[in-house]
Amino acid sequence: MRRELFKIRVGIVGTGTIARGLARLISKRKDMEVSYILTRRKGIIPDLGVSQELITQSIQQVLEHSDILVVSTGDPIYSTAIIDLAFQYGVKVVTMDADTQVLSGTWLSSRGQITEAEGDQPGCLAALREEALQMGFTPLVYGNIKGFLNHNPGFDDMTFWAKKQGFTVNSVTSFTDGTKLQIEQALVANAFGANIAQRGLIGEKTDNLEAGAFHLATIASAQNKVLSDYIISPTAPPGVFLVGTHHNDLAAGLKTYKMGDGPHYLLYKHTHLCYFEIPKTILKFYHTDKVLIDNGRFPTVSVATVAKKRIAAGTLIEKGIGSMEVRGEAMEIAEEPSHVPIGLMSKVHFTRTVEPGQVVTFDDVEINESLAYKAWQETLLQEEKTF
């Protein structure tokens, strides 16, 4: 009798673009299957590629029938609570949720097995870093490639692009105003013990990927730091890059293979394919427990809430990430320990008026209690011990 192929049972949290794409992709594989999909939405959810019977609002049902959980919600407060519960069931967690990693990932990593996935920029940079290290390169810059940036886009434009691209308005706004980018590079910095050059990062503008990347490397060398940063280039591929150095006695070999004269060498991945790459991480993490990338044990970089415009006392912000009122900027935690991480800005009341460009602090707002808030407070206490 032919033995049935073992399949990894994958539970999915979320029904946005990433989750829907992953569900369709897994439905076509022979080595894994979707167990259940957790959602907070009501009614039929199209484009999942699996039976609607697998959609549930019961996290217990998902966890009882899953070998591994993939979380991609864009809501770090919700995700933190779900992941913590998964650990209580002994279920490993793969995230495509840098927002959650930067806010509560350090705390979560102390409670269970969790890794960010390959596919989004941090995971792709982690994979590129592994390759670079195996080839003997010493990383100097971990870079994200951004084609366009507008710190304060209009609602009508964001609505147009959301419909055109199939994302939510919040998601498109967080892409456009740089919040998602800042979160990604904060995660990269914390994961690899790198630094940032300044609040909000440098964001080298260039029409030439190599020239822009090498300029960041020159800054990194001058500051004697390894930097996490990005370039803005409408002509560069939508991927990630790494600038490294190498041993001088191997420079001739690198030149032979068209890597240039040094001392800086550019390695890059020209795509990041989001949910198409998540199964690679699922397989590796399930079989080896090897973490691709997480927020590190002692994070030094956070993503602060910065006002896009004047916000009057009494204002309620439903969601900070992707809002019209605030955006996120990477900053060293030690620079302003009382800043409010952008991931905590959910249904937040302002108790004081803040001005455009001002970093929002806990003195300016009333933050709702949540497990994510507790996780941040405990992470901050741990970080203060290292200052």
The four Cα atoms 109, 293, 92, 23 give a dihedral, to 10 degrees, of: 140
Residue 132 CB contacts under 8 Å (≥ 6 apart), including other chains: 139, 242, 244, 267
The amino acid at residue 334 is: A
Structure tokens at 237: 């591929």
Q: Residue 3: what pLDDT?
A: 44
> Residue 15 has what DSSP assignment?
-
Q: How many residues in the chain?
A: 387
pLDDT at 276: 98
Three-class SS of residue 289?
A: coil
Hey, what are 380's tokens? 């901050």
- Distance, CA of 338 to CA of 156 (rounded, Å): 33
Q: What is the pLDDT of residue 46?
A: 87
**Interacting residues of 247 by C-beta distance below 8 A, sequence separation 6+:** 136
Residues 6+ apart with CB under 8 A from 383: 298, 299, 300, 333, 334, 337
Can you list the alpha helix ranges (DSSP code H) found in the chain?
A: 17-26, 59-64, 76-88, 98-100, 106-109, 121-134, 155-165, 169-176, 179-192, 209-223, 251-256, 278-288, 371-384
3-state secondary structure of 20: helix
Those residues of the chain that have pLDDT short of 70 are 1-4, 383-387
350-373 tens-digit pLDDT: 999 999 999 999 999 999 999 999
Provide the angle, in degrees to the nearest 10, between the axes of the packed helices 169-176 and 155-165.
110
> Who contacts 149 (Cβ-Cβ below 8 Å, separation ≥6)?
176, 177, 178, 181, 203, 232
Q: What tens digit of pLDDT does each residue of 167-212 get?
A: 999 999 999 999 999 999 999 999 999 999 999 999 999 999 999 9
Tell whether omega for the bond before 263 is within 30 degrees of 0, i.e. cis: yes
Query: In the prediction, which pLDDT does 2 show?
Result: 45
Closest CA to 141 of 198, 200, 188, 207: 188
**What is the rounded (10 degree) CA torsion for 133, 137, 142, 148?**
-120
Rounded distance between C-alpha atoms, residue 145 and residue 213, angstroms: 10
The model's pTM = 0.96
Dmax over CA atoms of the chain, in Å, equals 72
| Residue 4: predicted pLDDT | 56
